[in-house]
Structure formats: structure tokens, C-alpha cells
Chains A and B, each alone.
Chain A
Amino acid sequence: MMFLLFCSLSVAFAIAWLGYRRSSIAVFLFSLAFAVVWFLHHVTSHINIDL
């Protein structure tokens, strides 16, 4: 899954280079959101709560 994170960022850079500014920002924000979710998953997976 981490592999997809870096792939999505590389796609953002590639789209920006090719001249599509708004599309590159959209892909960048998607990859950043993905990174935030991944970070939250990492944090919550280490919480031991006996429900």
C-alpha cells in the first residue's frame, strides 16, 4: 500500500510536468489524503483498547 502512495505522488509530479496544473494538484491532494489516512491507520493500530 505504501508503494501506491509513492506512485500516486509520482503521477502528480508527472502531470504537473506535462502542463496540467489543476489535475496535478488534485492528484497531489489525493495522495496527501491517502498519506493522512495511512498515518492515522498506523497510529490507531497501536492503540490497545479493551472494549
Chain B
Amino acid sequence: MGSILFSRRAARVLNVLDVFGIAFILVMAFAFQIIMKDLPCPLCLLQRFGFLAMGFGSALNLLYGFRASHYALSIVASIYTAFVALRQIALHVVPGTGGYGPEFLGLHLYTWVFIIANLAVLYLCFVMSFAEQYQRHVRVNGHNGFLRKLGKVGIGLLFILVLLNALGVYFECGFGQCPENPTSYIH
């Protein structure tokens, strides 16, 4: 039966929310890029990569079943993303040096990335600690049919976002080094 506190269904709901949450963040990043003409710098691109990598663990959970190793991959990606964001904060934190890019609710986007990445580490450590989700069942629960399909839609969305980011990087940087303060596309 499993614990009421954290069933496999609850774990599936959370992983589906993870996937769509990360997709939402990346879509917002594209909105800033296309609508506000705010081209991503190299560190910004690494943070986008970090978010997509954070979604990989959740994707594996939804495709292959819940494993602590899948959560671990997302945690490593979250720590990486936090380091990259912290680097960008450090570059602009000294008074007078000026920030980079637009602000949201008073904080720069890289500051929000740092906050979200650290919260993600805490969240993933909390979620992965519930053992009930790792119990394997023989019978497939029919109530999860909609969630399984929704999960696959989310994974497909993440895959499309990875491809779109690759395309955006090609238009911005080609195959070479990306400019530090990009103002226009080179292709």
C-alpha cells in the first residue's frame, strides 16, 4: 500500500511538476531573450544548461521509475548551477560595478538562479529521502495513466528546449567562443 505521506503517485506528481517548472523557467528565459532582446552571456548559457540538466534526473524518474541515483544527478546539476550563478553574482556584487541584465522583483536573474538552485538542492534531498517511492509494484496503477502521459509531454518539452537553446547558441556564437556581452546575433 505504501505510506500516505509519500506514495509513488505523489512522487510522480512532484517529478512532473519539476519537469514543467524547469520548462517554464527556460521559456521565460527565451521570453527575455526574444521580447526584451536580452541576449544571454556565457555564464547565462551555462545556467540555462544547468537548469536543463536539473530536469534530466526527473525525466529519468518518470521514464524508468524512481531511483535515488536519478535524484542525485539532479542534485549535482543544481549544485553546478548554483556555482555558476554565484560566480556571476560575485562579478557584479561590488557597489559601482553595475549588474548584468534585467531585474525581477528587485533581484537580478542570476541571483534568482542562485536562490532557486539552492532551494532545489534542499527540495531534492527532502523528496529523495522517502523510501516508499522506490518500492517496485508488479501491477501498473491505472490512475497514473494521465500522469505518465503528462510526464512524457514534459520530457518532450524539455528536449525541445534543449534543441532551441542549441539553436540559439549557434545564432549567437556560431561554433566558437561566445561574446562576454552579446548585443547581436552573428548568424
B80 touches A35 (CB 8 A): yes
Residues of chain B from 168 to 182 with CB closer than 8 A to chain A in the complex: 169-170, 173-178
Give the complex CA separation of A16 and B155 in angstroms.
Answer: 10
Distance between B145 CB and nearest chain A CB, rounded to angstroms: 19
Residues of B within 8 A of A43 (CB): 87
Distance between B88 CB and nearest chain A CB, rounded to angstroms: 10
Distance between A15 CB and nearest chain B CB, rounded to angstroms: 11
Residues of A within 8 A of B87 (CB): 39, 42-43
Residues of B within 8 A of A38 (CB): 46
Distance between A14 CB and nearest chain B CB, rounded to angstroms: 7
Beyond A9-B52, A25-B73, is A1–B177 a contact (Cβ under 8 Å)?
yes
B134 within 8 A of A: no
Beyond A10-B166, A13-B158, is A31–B53 a contact (Cβ under 8 Å)?
yes
Can you pick out 15 interface pairs between chain A and chain B where the beta carbons lie within 8 Å of each other? Answer: A2-B173, A3-B169, A3-B175, A4-B175, A6-B52, A6-B169, A13-B59, A16-B60, A28-B53, A35-B46, A35-B50, A35-B53, A39-B84, A42-B43, A43-B87
Which residues on A are within 8 Å of B, measured CB to CB?
A: 1-7, 9-10, 12-14, 16-17, 21, 24-25, 28-29, 31-32, 35-36, 38-39, 42-43
Which residues on B are within 8 Å of A, measured CB to CB?
A: 42-43, 45-46, 49-50, 52-53, 56, 59-60, 63-64, 69, 73, 76-77, 80, 83-84, 87, 155-156, 158-159, 162-163, 165-166, 169-170, 173-178
